[in-house]
Amino acid sequence: MTEKTTHFGYEQVPESEKVQRVGAVFDSVAKNYDIMNDVMSMGVHRLWKRYTVEMSGVRRGWQVLDLAGGTGDLASHFSKLVGSQGQVVLADINPNMLQEGQDRLANQGLIGNTEFVEANAEELPFIDNQFDLITIAFGLRNVTDKQKALASMYRVLKPGGRLLVLEFSQVTVPLLKQFYDFYSFKALPLMGKWVANDEDSYRYLAESIRMHPNQETLRDMMIEAGFERCDYHNLSGGIVAVHRGYKL
């Protein structure tokens, strides 16, 4: 029986191979991840994440799951907001990224109410109805079976809870799209080469963005997974979008 294939950037690979190849990308970029985020977005990624935190409506005492949490940008904010009665679980499939996040939050003194879990978004190792809020920032496009992952998130979310997906999306401004395509495929790999000594990983980043579902398609996928009142908000002309859905 022929194994199903999926995309790794623009390349078609067996599904079983994608996890390892994505893992290799993040093994490579883990140490320079925060620096490259600042360089390639000119710091704007911090505003995108702040907007996501504001949309979360997070309250003291909440249970929060930050998926693909990487170096802990969102988790650090949530840890302060939920307080000692709440808990933040920073989960990532890549152990090197998870370690970077753990080290960063420890340096900020934010590990008292934070747990770190190595987890695959498609098969979350948590009980049903556990979290008030789930976030996944710039991670869903790297998941092999996105529909399965969304269903897994729905399962572990409490009734009344919400999911926020911050992800690169489809640019909606024609002139911006021309510049963005040039930047993504020409400038971004060179930045990766100069700053992180890793041109290939940042070429994959540009390709993976183009293969990710657009705004309307991702909203429909969330509805299919069971989420209700689904909407999205374009940021920076659609370079990124924040999708929101509720488990009612």
Average pLDDT of 136-143? 95
Q: Given this model, what pLDDT does residue 27 score? A: 80
With a cut of 80, say whether residue 146 has pLDDT above it: yes
Residue 182 counted as domain residue: no
Cβ 171 vs Cβ 233: under 8 Å: no
Residue 127 contacts by C-beta under 8 Å, 6 or more apart in sequence?
Answer: 156
How is residue 46 written in tokens?
């911090």
| Span 69-93, pLDDT tens digits | 988 999 999 999 999 999 999 999 9
Residue 178 counted as domain residue: no
How many domains does one find in the chain? 1
| Torsion on CA atoms 122, 9, 162, 226, rounded to nearest 10 | -60
How is residue 183 written in tokens?
């930047």
Tokens 């098969």 belong to 123
Residue 177 counted as domain residue: no
Residue 192 counted as domain residue: no
Residue 101 counted as domain residue: yes
How many CB atoms neighbour CB 47 within 10 A? 12
Residue 42 counted as domain residue: yes
Tokens 């904010």 belong to 77
% of the chain with per-residue pLDDT over 70 = 99
Lowest model confidence (mean pLDDT) among 4-18, 47-61, 136-150: 4-18
With a cut of 80, say whether residue 112 has pLDDT above it: yes
User: Rounded mean pLDDT of the chain?
Assistant: 93
3-state SS, the chain, equals CCCCEEEECCEEEEHHHHHHHHHHHHHHHHHHHHHHHHHHHCCHHHHHHHHHHHHHCCCCCCEEEEECCCCCHHHHHHHHHHCCCCEEEEEECCHHHHHHHHHHHHHCCCCCCEEEEECCHHHCCCCCCCEEEEEEECCHHHCCCHHHHHHHHHHHEEEEEEEEEEEECCCCCHHHHHHHHHHHHHHHHHHHHHHHCCHHHHHHHHHHHHHCCCHHHHHHHHHHCCCEEEEEEEEHHHCEEEEEEECC
Domain around 139: 5-172+203-246
Q: Given this model, what pLDDT does residue 193 score? A: 87
| Span 161-185, pLDDT tens digits | 999 999 999 999 999 999 999 999 9
| Span 173-222, pLDDT tens digits | 999 999 999 999 999 888 888 877 888 888 998 899 999 999 999 999 99
Q: How confident is the model at residue 2 (pLDDT cuts 50, 70, 90)?
A: low
Q: Given this model, what pLDDT does residue 201 score? A: 85
If one compares 208 and 7, the residue with the highest pLDDT of the two is 208
Q: Which residues pair with 88 in a beta bridge?
A: 64, 114
- Give the integer Cα–Cα distance in Å for 51 and 166: 10
How is residue 111 written in tokens?
């590990």
| Span 21-74, pLDDT tens digits | 888 888 877 777 778 788 788 899 999 999 999 999 999 999 999 999 988 999
Q: Given this model, what pLDDT does residue 1 score? A: 56
Domain CATH for 163: 3.40.50.150
- Please say whether the dihedral angle defined by the alpha carbons of residues 183, 178, 239 and 223, taken in this order, is positive or negative: negative
Residue 183 counted as domain residue: no
Residue 189 counted as domain residue: no
- Give the integer Cα–Cα distance in Å for 191 and 128: 42
